[in-house]
Amino acid sequence: MSMIRESDRSRIATLAADPQDRGGPGTSLLSVRGLIKHFGRTAGLFSQRRSVVRAVDGIDFEVAKGETLGIVGESGCGKSTTARLIMQIIVPDAGDILFDGEEVGSHALSLGEFRQQAQMVFQDSYSSLNPRLTVEDTIAFGPRVHGLSRRTAIARAHDLLHRVGLEPSRFAGCYPHEISGGQRQRVNIARSLALEPRLLILDEAVSALDKSVEAQVLNLLLDLKEEFGLTFIFISHDLNVVRFMSDRVMVMYLGKVAEVGPAESILALPRHPYTQALLASMPSMDPDNRTQEAPVSGDPPNPINPPSGCRFHPRCKVVATLCAHSEPAPHDVGAGHLAACHLANPESGHPRLAAA
Amino acid sequence: MAAIADALTRVPVKASRGYWTGVVARLARDPTAMVALTIILVIVAAAILAPLIAPADPYKGSMIRRLRPIGFPGYPLGSDELGRDMLTRLIYGGRLSLFIGVAPVICAFVIGSSVGIFAGYLGGRINTLLMRIIDVFFAFPSVLLAIALSGALGAGIFNSIVSLTIVFVPQIARVAESVTTQIRSRDYVEAARISGAGPVTIVRVHVLGNVLGPIFVYATGLISVSMILASGLSFLGLGVKPPDPEWGLMLNTLRTAIYTQPLVAALPGVMIFLTSISFNLFSDGLRSAMEVKQ
Amino acid sequence: MPLYILRRVLYVLPVAIGVSIICFLLVHLAPGDPLTAVMPIDATAEQQAEMRRAYGFDQPLPIQYGIWLWKVLHGDLGNSIATGRPVLAEVRRAVGNTLILASVATVIGFTFGTFFGFVAGYFRNSPLDKAASALSVFGVSVPHYWLGIVLVIIFSAQLGWLPPTGAGPDGSGNWRPDLEHLRYIILPAITMSVIPMGIIARTVRALVAEILAQEFVQALRAKGLSEWGVFKHVVTNAAPTALAVMGLQLGYLLGGSILIETVFAWPGTGFLLNAAIFQRDLPLLQGTILVLAMFFVMLNLVVDVFQTALDPRIQRS
């Protein structure tokens, strides 16, 4: 399923000149099918009831070249696990991951080759940097592992530092504890670019920063994306940030995709009740526009024993008996916008559809 | 806006310092630790320079000048039950006491760290298996295990070092495994894996530097215990054999003198105590210096 | 919860087996043929071979272990070479004395240790804290066998108030809790209590300081809870860990009593070990170590279960 919008065609054209490109503009950079990961306690001596955490329970999505896919959801929805599954830090239980048309870990694309083309920026700026290494050594580590000489790697590190707005002459020899959170996150970004990747996964990369610093870093990311021709997967729980950064948005709930589609479409006209609730719960800037009632009722989700049928049904305002029995598949509601809700599918038999 | 942009590129206040430089600086400002370190260095220096500074021959006794008190002419700290000069014996005794106290800790540090880091980094079944084996050794109180091993192997310096090493390896391995497991799940280790580095490189660059510090501090804390145990083994006759001078052994042979020359009889123990408490205080100071949140 | 206890008990089994293997191997660690320890020097070759078969030394190691283990489980720890009496009987006699000494020492150590620890933790960074901390460092740094000798010098040799050695007026007899024997236990118990006192003081100090610094304590104070109330709260929170440490210290004292018992000629397991080592009485050595180690393992288990019972957080796992 190709989701290339008109506005991206020029960007795609420049990508076509990318020497690392293998699949051409029509191929998604990342294609994920049926990704599953369960964490469970298997037998110990006299194991207690098997508490299996269904962190990611069968998701499909695509990321086109040059776009930013935003992934939103509450804690426990599986977005961070998804990031780690893509990066193969955690081994998936099932599912296919195709990068530029080739299966990751296969003969065509080994894990090592994949790791040079996809990188990740973590949330905690402090714990993602080795406190014993200087900034330049941290950035140079990746290139050195891949065979560059120390001099070349350090030179590249300095260049990247400059590009992320940290003057190398001042910052290259610093240790992580000597610089601020925003500066550390810039170092993290520089490190992730050191291997010249094509895909960058940003896992809550700005969530821990102060708002003013966050704005600076987001703008930096957009500039770098343009400059290096990158593709982003931007994970966040903050809808405003996602709206700012993303071309397309994917909403996750309890390990499954609730809704996915172009950013404007999802945020202006959400079709899944969960997305609607998320958007409604964002406090408005307008003092006259107060949120009167809680948009979502019930307890926050527990991925250990997910509800039957549609996972959102216990908290859904428009729930019907159908929803508890049958899990809705993502249904295309037009222009590449899919929603996994019976209400979005005119043939589902949801009682409210008949009334409409 | 300008202020924010400025803040982002602001130069850090002090010149960049390595971690260990900071530790040393903090340590230097800790009076207890510094005093303890001085005492340790003095004792070590005395032990090394023994032939140069000792007034007499540690093996040469005199039957007529046995058990002389402290301050007796020619015997500044008295003489022992065979008429040998106490000051000399104490200085020479430091050599063996320090050796049998410190050597096991060094050996255990090397072996224990290797095992612990290996188990900690690999995780999973190998970790569980190794830690279970180590748990078996933990099932013995240290003193008992040391004595059991020494008793079985027989007396002698080498044997007592071996038994004490076996006693300490599980302790150090456990600390090493615990710290390595913590570090292993840190984001920067994951980031290193994503960069495509192999396990050996990751351990060398990212794990070792962060793990050896805490293990080392633990090991220095063990030295005081080790000295007390090692001298204790000699006290029981399981370590150093007479006529070699060693503080624990001297305590034993001087026991009969507690009625006649109690002060002299107690002297070797004073040395053990002094060394042990100095190592303890220094180790505590080192731990504080390393724990400062940055 | 009972399931958790069952699991803990089952986990102990492999450890116990491992311990027994180590005890078994001790004898074979000894340099030279284990047979030389049990035989007269002038035995002929036939006598040697016969002895070898009788003791089972001609069998492969695992089988020897199996036979040995079988006997142990039936209460047969062999006979002491020196006295000829069953090892179990010797150990049983000695264990009582050591248990009494270790228990008294633990109680003393615990009492003073918690007192110093509390004072230090409550009045952090005050001179009281420094003094209490100094005492606890002293406790863990002092060679206890030397301390014993010093105390004997002061209270026995110089002042003559207390006896220097033995458990009772009749020499190596067992200790009984009566007035006559009371004087004999004082010095050994105090000497033995110093290390646990130091460790418990350090632990309690850290615990108390940590609890007091926690935010919910400040919240309690803000709500108007009296100092006595806060104190009770601190005690309840610190008690499980403190008691657990005490239990472990008792275990260490049981196992490590040999040094003190040698100094004071106290007729306990430590003293027995000493004799066994010097007489190369390997069955006695092996049996005593096995019993002491098993004691320690059981004690650890009890402490573990006890801590679980008291700490609701662990229970839920």
Q: What is the CATH number of the domain that holds B198?
A: 1.10.3720.10
Q: Do A46 and C7 touch (CB under 8 A)?
A: yes
pLDDT by residue (tens digit) across B151-185?
888 888 999 999 999 999 999 999 999 999 989 88
d(CA A256, CA A77): 8
- pLDDT class for B94, splitting at 50, 70, 90? very high
d(CA B88, CA B49): 12
Q: Do C3 and A46 touch (CB under 8 A)?
A: yes
- Give SS3 for B189: helix
Residue B17 lies in a domain: no
Q: Do B235 and C293 touch (CB under 8 A)?
A: no
* Closest Cβ–Cβ partner in B5, B17, B188 for A127: B188
* B109 in Cβ contact with B219 (< 8 Å): yes
Chain C partners within 8 Å of B224 (Cβ) = 140-141
Chain C: closest CA distance from residue A40 (Å) = 14
pLDDT for the residue numbered A289: 64
Chain A partners within 8 Å of B18 (Cβ) = 175
d(CA A78, CA A251): 11
Chain B partners within 8 Å of C252 (Cβ) = 141-143
Q: State the DSSP string of A167-233.
A: -HHHHTT--GGGS-HHHHHHHHHHHHHTT--SEEEEESTTTTS-HHHHHHHHHHHHHHHHHHT-EEE
Q: Output phi, psi for C91, to 5 deg.
A: -65, -40
CB atoms within 10 A of CB B39: 17
Chain B partners within 8 Å of A175 (Cβ) = 16-19
- Of the candidates B164, B189, B252, the one whose C-alpha atom is nearest the C-alpha of residue C146 is B252
d(CA A183, CA A18): 30
Mean pLDDT (whole number) for B121-139:
88
Q: Do A175 and B16 touch (CB under 8 A)?
A: yes
Interface residues on A facing C, Cβ-Cβ cutoff 8 A: 45-46, 48
Q: Do C300 and B151 touch (CB under 8 A)?
A: no
Whether C32 and chain B come into contact, CB under 8 Å, resolves to no
pLDDT for the residue numbered A140: 93
Contacts of residue A115, Cβ cutoff 8 Å, sequence gap at least 6? A87, A88, A195, B194, B195, B196
> What are the per-10-residue average pLDDT scores of chain C (317 residues)?
77 87 80 61 70 68 82 80 80 88 92 88 82 85 91 86 77 67 85 91 86 76 76 82 86 86 89 84 85 88 79 54
d(CA B276, CA B50): 20
Per-residue pLDDT of chain A (356 residues; tens, 9 = 90+): 445 455 555 555 555 556 777 777 778 888 999 899 988 755 444 445 567 888 888 889 999 888 999 999 887 788 889 999 999 888 888 888 998 888 888 888 888 888 889 999 998 888 899 988 999 999 999 999 888 899 999 999 999 999 998 999 999 888 898 899 889 999 999 999 999 999 999 999 888 888 888 888 999 999 999 998 899 999 998 888 988 899 999 999 888 898 999 998 888 888 888 888 888 877 666 666 665 656 666 666 677 778 888 888 888 888 888 888 888 888 888 888 888 888 888 887 777 776 65
* Closest Cβ–Cβ partner in C29, C140, C259 for B152: C29
Residue B14 lies in a domain: no
Mutation for testing the C interface, residue in B147, B252, B287 having most C CBs under 10 Å: B147
Whether A197 and chain B come into contact, CB under 8 Å, resolves to no
The two beta strands, A338-339 and A331-332, are antiparallel
Residue B56 lies in a domain: no
Surface of C (147-176) touching B: CB under 8 A: 147, 149-150, 152-153, 157-158
pLDDT for the residue numbered A49: 52
Mutation for testing the B interface, residue in C154, C259, C269, C300 having most B CBs under 10 Å: C259
Chain B partners within 8 Å of C137 (Cβ) = 277, 280-281, 284
Residue B98 lies in a domain: yes
Q: Do B12 and A134 touch (CB under 8 A)?
A: no
Whether A181 and chain B come into contact, CB under 8 Å, resolves to no
Q: Do A48 and C10 touch (CB under 8 A)?
A: no
Q: For residue A280, count CB atoms less than 10 angstroms from its CB and return exposed for 0-12, middle for 13-18, buried for 19 or more.
A: middle
The two beta strands, A248-253 and A256-262, are antiparallel
- Of the candidates C151, B194, C68, the one whose C-alpha atom is nearest the C-alpha of residue A200 is B194
pLDDT by residue (tens digit) across B223-233?
999 999 999 99
Helix boundaries (H) for chain A: 9-16, 79-86, 111-117, 135-145, 150-163, 168-171, 181-193, 211-228, 239-245, 263-268, 273-281, 321-325, 351-355
Contacts of A among chains (3+ CB pairs under 8 A): B, C
Residue B13 lies in a domain: no
* C126 in Cβ contact with C215 (< 8 Å): no
Q: What residues does A71 pair with on adjacent strands?
A: A235, A250
Surface of A (217-276) touching B: CB under 8 A: none
pLDDT for the residue numbered A221: 92
Q: Do B228 and C143 touch (CB under 8 A)?
A: yes
Whether B258 and chain C come into contact, CB under 8 Å, resolves to yes
Mutation for testing the A interface, residue in B185, B187, B293 having most A CBs under 10 Å: B187
Which domain, by its residues, includes B35? 24-48+86-290
d(CA B111, CA B214): 16
The two beta strands, A248-253 and A94-99, are unpaired
- Give SS3 for A336: coil
**Least confident interval from B2-6, B95-99, C139-143:** B2-6
d(CA B197, CA A194): 14
Whether A326 and chain B come into contact, CB under 8 Å, resolves to no
**Chains A, C: CB contacts under 8 A, how many?**
8
Give the predicted TM-score (pTM) of the model: 0.83
- Of the candidates A333, A255, A318, the one whose C-alpha atom is nearest the C-alpha of residue A58 is A255
Residue B228 lies in a domain: yes
Angle, helix B262-291 to helix B86-122, in steps of 10 degrees: 30
Q: For residue A107, count CB atoms less than 10 angstroms from its CB and return exposed for 0-12, middle for 13-18, buried for 19 or more.
A: exposed
Q: Do C149 and B265 touch (CB under 8 A)?
A: yes
Q: For residue A42, count CB atoms less than 10 angstroms from its CB and return exposed for 0-12, middle for 13-18, buried for 19 or more.
A: exposed
In the Cβ-directed half-sphere of C81, how many Cα atoms lie within 13 Å?
Answer: 20
Chain C partners within 8 Å of B148 (Cβ) = 23, 26, 285, 289
DSSP state letter for B257: G
The number of residues making up chain C comes to 317
pLDDT for the residue numbered B1: 47
Instruction: Give the chain A residue nearest B187 (alpha carbons).
Output: A128
Residue B120 lies in a domain: yes
DSSP state letter for A148: -
Task: Compute the Cα dihedral for A24, A25, A26, A28 and give only its sign.
Answer: positive
Residue B271 lies in a domain: yes
d(CA B55, CA B53): 6
* Closest Cβ–Cβ partner in A89, A116, A195 for B193: A89
* A253 in Cβ contact with A72 (< 8 Å): no
With b meaning 16 or more CB within 10 Å and e meaning fewer, what string describes C54-82? ebebeeeeeebbeebeeebeeeebbbbbe
Per the structure, how many domains does chain B have? 1
How far is CA A122 from each of CA A184, B191, C307, rounded to the nearest angstrom? 11, 8, 38
Structure tokens at C65: 């272990």
Quote ipTM for the complex. 0.84
Strands (E), chain C: none
Whether A212 and chain B come into contact, CB under 8 Å, resolves to yes
Chain B partners within 8 Å of A42 (Cβ) = none
Mean pLDDT (whole number) for B26-52:
90
**Least confident interval from A299-303, B194-198, B218-222:** A299-303
Whether A120 and chain B come into contact, CB under 8 Å, resolves to yes
d(CA C277, CA C263): 16
d(CA A321, CA A309): 10
pLDDT for the residue numbered C45: 73
